[in-house]
Amino acid sequence: MAGVAGVVGFRPIAANADVPLPYDRAAMPPFDDKKTFIEWMVANRGEDPKFLAKRFERFQVMVANRDVLDDRNKRAFLFTPREEFVLEQNLGRAYDHAFLDIGYGVTISGPHLVGRMTTSIDVQFGESVLEIGTGSGYQSAYLANLTDKVFTIEIIKPLAERTRGFYDGLIKRAYTEYGAITSKHADGYYGWEGVGEFDKIIVTCGIDHIPPSLLQQLKPNGIMVIPVGPPGAQHVLKVIKEQNADGTFNIVRSDIYNGKIVPFVPFTKLEGDEIVGTHDG
């Protein structure tokens, strides 16, 4: 964001003017041609053709790489203006295949990783989804194009406040889908009590185990995606809470990258108002 990364007073950058048409969850942009896609998005979303071109080019690589598989996730990626969630100095790299600094010692994950993690949990409209680690806000914005019940927790208070401001500003510009996002500042290790169980959970920080509270708050047969492993060397696991006929559960794990190591920022711990260390055992 402008000036020193993460400073208070940053104002998000408008990619263009307000969205010209009301948000329509049934609206589907063209997938097959960049020029047609850009024209459709300018008419329907009022966004900058320069960023739309980069978005579509990244989308084509993600599809070829099988990071997005179904039309709903393709649409969600194409409808989410990633340029709204990066630092001003990184605008030109918004659609790079890279983690980018967003201040406060954390990053926005690359689009390939966001696409694959989101596709892995197969979010359906109406499902409740919990995100641990709001960060830039991009992941929850993507989820808001898939369901109307997105809950997100950020442990860094000024970052949580800044990102909530992004959402509220975008809603005023007619990105009304972001009204689906409920956010708060808290320690995400303990989940979000009082909401009920979640259909899906997505964790965007690395830890050496699966937090018990998150498993407890996951519905029977629900799906979680979480980076698990030692600091800086996590495997991104898809975790299914399978319910047996007798009411017991099996926790079924698989690696969405088939063993590839992916480094994540650590899953930090909150004591009072202070962040102290991590939740690694």
Which residues are designated catalytic? 109
218: phi then psi, degrees, rounded to nearest 5? -85, 130
227: phi then psi, degrees, rounded to nearest 5? -80, 120
Radius of gyration of the chain (CA): 18
User: Which residues make beta-bridge pairs with 235?
Assistant: 228
Residues 6+ apart with CB under 8 A from 39: none
Query: How far, in Å, are 102, 128, 155, 248 from residue 185 at the CA level?
Result: 17, 19, 6, 33
Q: Residues 1, 88: contact at Cβ < 8 Å?
A: yes
Structure tokens at 257: 């990258």
Collapsed DSSP state (helix, strand, coil) of residue 101? strand
